């Protein structure tokens, strides 16, 4: 499944606005997205987008139960 254009940018924008310093779960990120008027299919979709960006080094994945995600500071 391909990442739809702009999904990561939308997540990044909301997390930047929310000033999220702590790593968040995909569900917590989905809730923030919804609070900011961004629609995503599910927490699973958020995790998929962030997992793929982790491969490029833009996201740190903390492999815990549940997984948590932190965007790298130098990403725009």
Domain 7-71 has CATH 1.10.10.10: yes
Contact present, 33 and 11 (Cβ < 8 Å)? yes
Contact present, 60 and 69 (Cβ < 8 Å)? yes
Provide the token pair at 27.
């569900």
Domain ranges of the chain: 7-71
Kindly indicate the confidence band of residue 18, based on its pLDDT and cuts at 50, 70 and 90: confident
CA dist., res. 55 & res. 57, Å (int): 6
Over residues 22-64, the pLDDT tens digits come to 999 999 999 999 999 999 999 999 999 999 999 999 999 999 9
- How far is C-alpha 31 from the geometric centre of its chain's CA atoms? 11
């Amino acid at each position: 499944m391909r990442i739809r254009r702009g999904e990561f940018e939308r997540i990044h924008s909301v997390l930047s606005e929310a000033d999220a310093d702590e790593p968040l779960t995909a569900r917590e990120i989905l809730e923030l997205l919804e609070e900011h008027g961004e629609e995503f299919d599910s927490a699973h979709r958020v995790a998929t987008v962030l997992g793929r960006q982790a491969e490029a080094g833009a996201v740190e994945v903390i492999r815990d139960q549940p997984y948590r995600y932190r965007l790298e500071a130098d990403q725009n």
